[in-house]
Structure 1
């Protein structure tokens, strides 16, 4: 069956996620564009963009879906010990552009990147609209780790993370999960399975189950941006 092509000049509209390919897992459509209205429509339906340089915009909705329920985040004994030492300052929405650029740079030095210049610009626009958010992990005056993603209602859609020091991205994810618990978020979308995320408490659920939960949770009011940790948030005590 040919892959549906989405007209970038039309209103954002996607095929039903049930029509996504099984191989490659979850590939749903090509085309459209990386504007804020297309991205919000996609995320609200359990769809996300992923493509490499030189490819058209590709849209995905894999089955199964990897999710992390914030209250299920696993904090290992070694991570608790590190957190108690409080070696890092952790902030939200302080340097979004620097975080997404760092995620891109880390992948540029590996086997290529899907975070193209077009992708960066699109998510920076979402951040300016109060829909995309970042976590920054600081050692002194340097950002040594972090992550970014999109929030709709009570769902956070994780996009990418990076580390320049051991465990910095883990600390970012733990801090995010603990703060989202306080805000009564229902889940963090992790997209596709990885041992790293599974070890931190993420689990696979069916695409159907994911979409059912998404419809309910995304109907809640947005947590307005820019985000910041609660005034009484303390990673060392919240992580106990």
Structure 2
């Protein structure tokens, strides 16, 4: 039986998320400890600030959600195995259509060169994956993600597992019990990530 949107939302509400193995078989995970990024912990690095100031990338939201997922699913190095199967891409694209999943995208000369995607429920954004084809593209997309979450009043940014990539953004690990308490409180809030569908410049999102 294929993965269903309702099943996926129920899983997120209860602290689980799916990952596919090399054969496409999907398993569910709820790590302990859990990695989150407190929004107040994030500060753009000194090296990123000039990139932000010169506006190197055009930032859009939800213009090419499937394209972002397709890029995230590609191996990053030889022998790398992706956990993003075709089935996962299809069901998350359905989540995007229904307003529960979103992408923040970086463009250069009208070409998608970086971005990220995740799931939004209540006051929680569950970060899933990011990619870049041009240096700093995913970092700029992440910077704008944080600004959107702050502007919209989100209270929890879940990053699932700790690794060097999320550590640079201020990620910490907390016990599963603490995470579940934060999750329960956050999903009770009524937040909107962005107006549904369409391409939006960040300036339009943050007016």
1:145-199: CA deviation from partner (whole Å, max 9, x where unpaired):
0000100001000111000011111111111011110111012110000112111
Distance in 1, matches of 2:133 and 2:24, equals: 29
| TM-score normalised over the length of structure 2 | 0.91
Q: Of 45, 66, 71, which residue of structure 2 is paired with 1:97? A: 66
- Residues 131 and 108 of structure 1, relative CA distance in 2, 3 Å threshold: farther
RMSD: 1.9
Change in CA separation of 1:125 and 1:107 when aligned onto 2, cut-off 3 Å: farther
Match of 1:226 among 166, 190, 197: 197
1:80 corresponds to 2:49: yes
1 CA distance for matches of 2:183 and 2:16?
11
Correspondences of 1:165-184 after superposition (within 5 Å): 165-184=134-153
How many angstroms apart in 2 are the aligned matches of 1:123 and 1:134? 11
How far apart are residue 144 of structure 1 and its match?
A: 0.5
Instruction: Please give the alpha-carbon distance, in whole angstroms, between the structure 1 residues aligned to 2:7 and 2:16.
Output: 10
How far apart, in 2, do the equivalents of 1:56 and 1:232 lie? 37
Unaligned runs of 5+ in 2: none
Aligned mates of 2:196, 2:21 — CA distance in 1: 29
Cα deviation, residue 222, structure 1: 4.2
The TM-score with structure 1 as length reference comes to 0.79
- CA offsets, 1:54-83, max 9 Å, x none? 253200000111111223212111111221
Q: Relative CO higher for 1 or 2, CA cutoff 8 Å, sep ≥ 6? A: 2
Q: Which residue in 1 is equivalent to 2:94? A: 125
CA distance in 2, matches of 1:141, 1:173: 19
Structure 1 unaligned blocks of 5 or more: 1-7, 9-32, 235-240
For the residues of structure 2 that align with 1:48 and 1:222, how far apart are their CA atoms? 21
Structure 1: how far apart are the matches of 2:66 and 2:120? 17
* SS state at 1:179 partner: helix
1:124 counterpart SS class: helix
Answer with 1 or 2: which has the greater Rg.
Answer: 1
1:49–1:59 CA contact under 8 A, matched in 2 = yes
SS in 1 for 2:9: helix
2:114 paired residue among 145, 148, 151: 145
Map 1:177-196 onto structure 2 (within 5 A). Answer: 177-196=146-165
Aligned pair count?
A: 203
Q: How does 1:13-162 map to 2 (within 5 A)?
A: 33-54=2-23, 56-107=25-76, 111-162=80-131
Asked if the contact 2:5/2:95 (under 8 Å) is kept, the reply is yes
